[in-house]
Structure 1
Amino acid sequence: MDKYDDTILVTGGSGFLGSHVVDALIAQGRFRVVAVSRNPTRYCNQEAQYMPCDITNHNEVAAIIEQIKPIAIIHTATPGPFAPEFLHRKDHAATKNLVQIATQFSSVRAFVYTGSAEAMKNVSGARGKPLSETEAILHTPSTAPSGYAHAKSASDALVLQANDVSLATATLRLPAVYGPRETKDSGIATNFMSLANTFATRIQLGNNEVVLDWVYVENAAHAHVLAVNTLLQPQRCADGEAYFVTDGAPVKLWDFVRSVWTASGDENCNSIKKVIIPWWVVLALAATIEVLFRIFTLDRKSPPLTRLHVRYVKDGAWFSIGKARECLGYEPLVSTSEGIERTVAWLKHA
């Protein structure tokens, strides 16, 4: 007989964040965990069950949910912010599909969605205090500056609107996520680490005045587990809400980057003379790269540098985790400095 009474379904369960969510659920020991992705072969936990699935395919998803009868879905599967726009459209369609199916099966009582800070249009790291959920304004189709921002804001709103008496929903809005199992294509620490001990450490894009929030991947996974546990409680005290989840202490961009370089063994990155390139030059360069990629890849690939992401680091981002602390019981498990050390140690042996 199965030692678990209930099942949780995790989408993207062998991906960067999703695999950590699976591990955190398994460590809790309460639920049977079923993870789905297109090709679930990486970072598989031997105590979880893995099933291949295209989550944009209604029939595939419905068949799996009918078979395993999960009481909750944690939807982490998403293309990264640098993915081509057509993938973001598919991502929103997949979220819409999942929500629709979740409302049709009575076994599903909770739905947790991995949202993004880039879904907000009033993000700033120059504020006098962190942005709260009550102050945050989601992008609309007319204000979203990218396919990623559009998909994440539309999906965020969709999930919260689906909350009702039979399905408790919540969105976790994450800033830049870093940590072990980062992908080499879009990993934050991975890309910074590759520049350690090179001439690139002499170059600084823009000033270093505003703060940015970050979230270590295990902190983000911990928040997902807390959210699903809270939504499944009879009191229904936290459903239909969005929550910012971060490391709890913002760090300026170049302080974060140089911490990665230092942990990577670059002893000179903080003392060498720096060439500071103004933000207006960086934005112009990003615009040029966007045009070239649009022409030569027919929009099938995203450029490594875009104006959206330049503006994000230029303007900064600072979020309050007070609501997550109060309603979900969230506290970061790992500080940013320790998270950087752990990430670099993992990358050195990856």
Structure 2
Amino acid sequence: MDSPDSLGTVLVTGGCGRIGSRLVKALLSNPTSSVHVVSRNPTSNLHTNAKYHPANLTNAEQVAAVLQEVKPTVIFHCASPDYLAPDKELWHTNVIGTRVLLQCAAKCSSVKALVYTSSNSAIVPAAPGVVQTEETAKLQDEHSKIDMYSKTKGIGDREVLAANNPSELLTAVLRIPVHVQLGDDKLKYEFCYDGKVVEAHILAAKALLGELTSKPATKKVNGEAFFISDGISMPFFEFARKVYASAGHPVANDEIKVMPLWFMAHLGTRKPELRRLDMDHFKKSVAWKIGKAKTVLGYEPVTDQDEVLKKCVESCMVHCGLIVGSEVPVGAIKQL
């Protein structure tokens, strides 16, 4: 590596997705880092100075070939299908793909660290009012009676942590908020600005590499999971109404119509996108503390969530052609 701030050569799985592509952009801002992306079909959200490698994560030969060609020092594992993707696709990518990547990374001498993008869906919801920590949180597993996305993210989360081996490969997991919610809007959830999600990934990677060259730290990063968010727990639709207000359409309390959660299970005769198991998941809260990420990684959430949200919404509206012109400063995030 050319400087203390360099991550050397990095490989991002899922680097054409929402979080992955933003991470690639941030990594490219450091000229001492060489950025590579592995994707099944790298055709969207491309960045000029990144190098793209078509490969299927479930194919060990393809993955090993990419690692041998790229020789990355750090892998950011962001790949995951959409929440509503077919169960088979979710299992293949989030479980089999993660296992193959871990096995190949452990055999590749250049790879020193792997950071995995997990989510709130991987966590078993707590009782209402309980704010979880990394020590109290329990992961979904293959026996969980829950949707396949949550189950497979929980399995991937657990297996990445289990793969941590100081003599071969250092791993860390970041758990970020990803939400869909129905119900009476009393339960609290987490939200996070994408820019801060990206920042947390880079902080975790630097911390892992730092542990290779420094004395054992009292606040260990390798083999650890970290909750990442804006540090403000709130009901889902309270946040949604902040978005509406930022777009110039505030919603008054007397305009709100509440649809009970049970009602959604009986709408229509077609197979619903949200199944009964999914809706049961939304009856409980996934709110958490970010003290560990702040103390160990040096992570700091946004200082003013409302201000950042306003800028994001304004920029998104300009991007979508909903308004002409904007006071959004140069460099603000282009999409919500």
TM bucket by the smaller chain? Answer: 0.7 to 0.9
Q: Is 2:118 the partner of 1:115?
A: yes
Aligned residue number for residue 259 of structure 2 = 277
The question of whether the paired residues in 2 share the 8 Å contact of 1:118 and 1:152 is answered with yes
Aligned residue number for residue 155 of structure 1 = 156
User: Greater CA deviation, 240-249 or 117-126?
Assistant: 117-126
With over 3 angstroms needed to count, the CA separation of the structure-2 counterparts of 1:107 and 1:144, relative to structure 1, is farther
The question of whether the paired residues in 1 share the 8 Å contact of 2:182 and 2:282 is answered with no
Aligned residues: 308
Give the distance between the partners of 1:273 and 1:122, measured in 2 at CA: 30
Aligned residue number for residue 300 of structure 1 = none
In the alignment, structure 2 segments of 5+ residues that lack a partner are 321-336
Where do residues 322-337 of structure 1 align in structure 2 (5 Å cutoff)? 322-333=291-302, 335-337=304-306
Residue 125 of structure 1 deviates from its aligned partner by 5.1
Residue 152 of structure 1 deviates from its aligned partner by 0.7
Where do residues 1-350 of structure 1 align in structure 2 (5 Å cutoff)? 6-91=8-93, 92-124=95-127, 126-127=129-130, 130-164=131-165, 165-176=167-178, 206-233=183-210, 234-235=213-214, 237-267=220-250, 269-282=251-264, 284-285=265-266, 292-293=270-271, 303-333=272-302, 335-348=304-317, 349-350=319-320
Residue 42 of structure 1 deviates from its aligned partner by 2.2
Residue 149 of structure 1 deviates from its aligned partner by 1.5
The question of whether the paired residues in 2 share the 8 Å contact of 1:226 and 1:328 is answered with yes
The question of whether the paired residues in 2 share the 8 Å contact of 1:213 and 1:249 is answered with yes
The question of whether the paired residues in 2 share the 8 Å contact of 1:116 and 1:175 is answered with yes
Give the distance between the partners of 1:131 and 1:17, measured in 2 at CA: 24
Aligned residue number for residue 296 of structure 1 = none
With over 3 angstroms needed to count, the CA separation of the structure-2 counterparts of 1:336 and 1:10, relative to structure 1, is same
For 1:148, give the aligned amino acid: Y
Give the distance between the partners of 2:128 and 2:193, measured in 1 at CA: 19
User: Greater CA deviation, 117-126 or 58-67?
Assistant: 117-126
The question of whether the paired residues in 2 share the 8 Å contact of 1:75 and 1:114 is answered with yes
Residue 335 of structure 1 deviates from its aligned partner by 4.4
Residue 239 of structure 1 deviates from its aligned partner by 0.2
Instruction: State TM-score, norm by structure 1.
Output: 0.81
- 3-state DSSP class of the match of 1:171? strand
With over 3 angstroms needed to count, the CA separation of the structure-2 counterparts of 1:25 and 1:156, relative to structure 1, is same
Give the distance between the partners of 1:80 and 1:253, measured in 2 at CA: 20
Name whichever structure is richer in helix by fraction.
1
User: RMSD of the TM alignment (CA)?
Assistant: 2.4
Give the distance between the partners of 1:31 and 1:72, measured in 2 at CA: 10
With over 3 angstroms needed to count, the CA separation of the structure-2 counterparts of 1:81 and 1:336, relative to structure 1, is farther
Residue 276 of structure 1 deviates from its aligned partner by 1.9
With over 3 angstroms needed to count, the CA separation of the structure-2 counterparts of 1:29 and 1:307, relative to structure 1, is farther
